[in-house]
Structure 1
Amino acid sequence: MKKPKLILIDLDGTLVDSVPDLAFSVNSMMEQIGRATYQEAQVRNWVGNGVERLVKRALLNALDGEPAENYFEKAYPLFMTSYGQHNGERSQLYPGIREGLDQLKSAGYQLGCVTNKAEQFTIPLLKALGIHDNMGIIISGDTLPKKKPDPMQLLYAAEHFGIGSDESIMVGDSIHDVTAARAAGFQAVSVPYGYNHGQDIRDAEPDAVINSLADLPELLEQALRLAT
């Protein structure tokens, strides 16, 4: 690996375990439409492709497919209202996140959060968990016309800091993060936890896999030592 100047980090499944809040809101929605609720573990398998897809999966009790349009149109606003009210109440930072962010910031790296989550949920969640101010840029799923796995968000962040793609890293939990990194010319670092629908993230062939963000500073220092 090459030591970077810019480190972009995914939100859900990488920085934050947001499933508890999402599951609460899914079940609130299901109760309001008169349907059975789910265990948190089941909702966990459906997270990772945005809240619209999450709602559709909950309505279908399946990973793929499309519910009836009128059914979705009734349910989706109920989910959005609940999630807007409870976002950040049950979510937690993964182990090592605060330590890793502090170490990376102290070491002089430019940091940013790049997520497919809508801004109306991204900013409150980052603030609720006390890591909003660690980020030099925050790019949400509706900030730009395209989002991961498209490289647009990553390239926009690099341009914002005036840093080349070859000096940038994307850290994430899913194949979308690796795909976006490759398309943008970034290095890709993955975490093995998070929301990748049960698939081993190593199969996506990132440049490195770390068990915690707290492991990233040492990985980058090793890269520097090997290069000199």
Structure 2
Amino acid sequence: MSRFTGLQAAIVDLDGTLVDTLGDFVVALNGALAELSLPALPAATVERLVGKGSEHLVRSALREAGGADALYEAAWTAYQRHYGKVNGRHATAYPGAEQGLRALRDAGLRLACVTNKPTGFARELLRQKGLLAFFGQVFGGDAFERRKPDPLPLLEACRVLGAAPARTLVIGDSVNDAAAARAAGCPVVLVSYGYNHGQPVRSADADGFLDSLAGVGAWL
């Protein structure tokens, strides 16, 4: 049953929405922490920290591992190096991700990926997983002066896509995506399987929830 009419575009999140990247984060963070003689973090802890950009992830991981804030610059440099080596290696596109993107494209929507992951890493990950060609634009956390949950990235993506926010569907996996979409005036749908800081995603303020992105076509 169609839930959305008159859409011009869609903005899709990356980590936790299109691709399960937790393995990459765990390996890169623990590689960086090992260089600083700090203990490794379990995947469940890392998962709770994902979603607000790489800087937040590294700062939070450093604190979780008992490291001093003064170690941040060293941790950041090490993390960037490790992530560049493993980007995509321990990541898998979610079932239904490609089908969902194809349905959005076939509906005539202009597509952008907006993520808090750095743009270079985001484009390379999408390329590896065969998803880059679906997107006219890819904007990472370094593309604008503020990141989600601030609405700026979504508003700028709408401007570049030439689409009105009210006619641009946002698809994500967390309260960050929902909050950014609400502030930008965009309708928003969340997937149920991503990273939401350890909280139930269905408690977020969204217009709908999907267990697989493949189901989005029925709502267009």
Taking structure 1 as the reference length, the TM-score comes to: 0.89
Structure 1, 175-184 or 145-154: larger mean CA deviation: 145-154
1:2 counterpart = 2:33? no
Partner of 1:180: 180
Q: State the partner residue of 1:163.
A: 163
1:41 to 35, 44, 48: 44
How large is the RMSD of aligned CA atoms in angstroms?
1.7
- 1:198 deviation in Å? 1.7
Contact 2:103 2:216 in 1 (8 A): no
User: CA contact under 8 A between 1:56 and 1:67: conserved in structure 2?
Assistant: no
Partner of 2:138: 138
Unaligned runs of 5+ in 2: none
Corresponding residue of 2:117: 117
Rounded Cα–Cα distance in structure 2 between residues aligned with 1:107 and 1:91: 28
Q: Does 1:21 align with 2:24?
A: yes
Which whole-Å CA distance do the structure 1 matches of 2:134 and 2:117 have between them?
A: 18
Q: Which of the residues 37, 53, 57 maps onto 2:56?
A: 53
% of aligned pairs identical?
A: 38
Q: How far apart are the structure 1 equivalents of 2:58 and 2:150? A: 23
SS of the aligned residue for 2:71 comes to helix
Corresponding residue of 2:213: 213
Asked if the contact 2:59/2:69 (under 8 Å) is kept, the reply is: no
SS at match of 1:45: helix
User: CA separation in 1, counterparts of 2:162 and 2:34?
Assistant: 49
Residues 138-173 of structure 1: CA distance to partner in whole angstroms, max 9, x if unpaired?
111111122211212111222222221221111111
Q: Which amino acid aligns with 2:214?
A: A
* TM-score, normalisation: structure 2: 0.92
- Pair 1:99-2:99 in alignment: yes
Q: Do the aligned partners of 1:191 and 1:212 also contact (CA within 8 Å) in 2? A: yes
Secondary structure of the residue aligned to 1:125 is helix
Q: Out of 80-89 and 139-148, give the one that drifted further.
A: 139-148
1:86 Cα deviation (Å)?
1.2
**Match of 1:225?**
none
Q: Which runs of 5+ in 1 are unaligned?
A: 221-228
Residue type of the partner of 2:158? A
